[in-house]
Amino acid sequence: MTNKWVSFFIANEKFCANISDIKEVLPYQQANPFPGSDENTEGILSIRGEVITVLDGNKIFSCENIYAKNNIIVIEDQSNTLIGISINGIDEIIEFETVDIEKTSEQQNSLVLGTIHSNGQLYVVADLASLLAEQQGTSEDEQQVVVSNGQKGL
């Protein structure tokens, strides 16, 4: 059985993340900056009464981006902590097995599992579970990350 992955854009790069790692996808909203946040943090949002820290996808994945941000991918851990990642847009659902991910010896970003060729396209495979663990200062084994769509039927 193949795994389903959500593909998305940041700058001119196509990324994908396991669909089980995503709680929801929201339309982009400007986050409210807050003092003392790190350089990867855009700010915070209140969504349906819950506070979400929004991280800049451009900075996390080292992309030079001149395009408008259109969505925020929301991930959640077992303690219901929410984190959002700003992206340019959602693309499609693709299917492949994790064993098919090509790893490179030059990989410098710990949030990247490798690359995958699917439907004639090259995708960077993002590890959102590691991102959440890194932001929370916990190990990946302690995390359960979940994406959904602000629309029906993702």
d(CA 140, CA 43): 24
Q: pLDDT-derived band of residue 107, with 50, 70 and 90 as boundaries?
A: low
Q: Is the pLDDT of residue 37 over 50?
A: yes
CATH superfamily ID and name for 3-142:
CheA-289, Domain 4 (2.40.50.180)
For 34, the enclosing helix (H) or strand (E) is none
Contact criterion met (CB below 8 Å) for 90 and 71: yes
- Domain ranges in the chain? 3-142
For residue 98 the two structure tokens come to 């994790």
Q: Is the pLDDT of residue 153 over 50?
A: no
Q: Is the pTM of this model over 0.85?
A: no
Q: Is the pLDDT of residue 149 over 80?
A: no
Contact criterion met (CB below 8 Å) for 71 and 126: no
Contact criterion met (CB below 8 Å) for 17 and 4: no
Task: Give me the pLDDT at residue 27, please.
Answer: 95
3-class state of residue 36 by DSSP:
coil
- Residue 8 carries which side chain, given as an amino acid letter? F
Task: Give me the pLDDT at residue 6, please.
Answer: 95
d(CA 127, CA 103): 13
Contact criterion met (CB below 8 Å) for 109 and 133: no
pLDDT in tens, 80-103: 778 999 999 999 999 999 999 998
Alpha helices in the chain (DSSP H): 57-60, 128-136
Q: Are strands 13-18 and 3-10 parallel, antiparallel or unpaired?
A: antiparallel
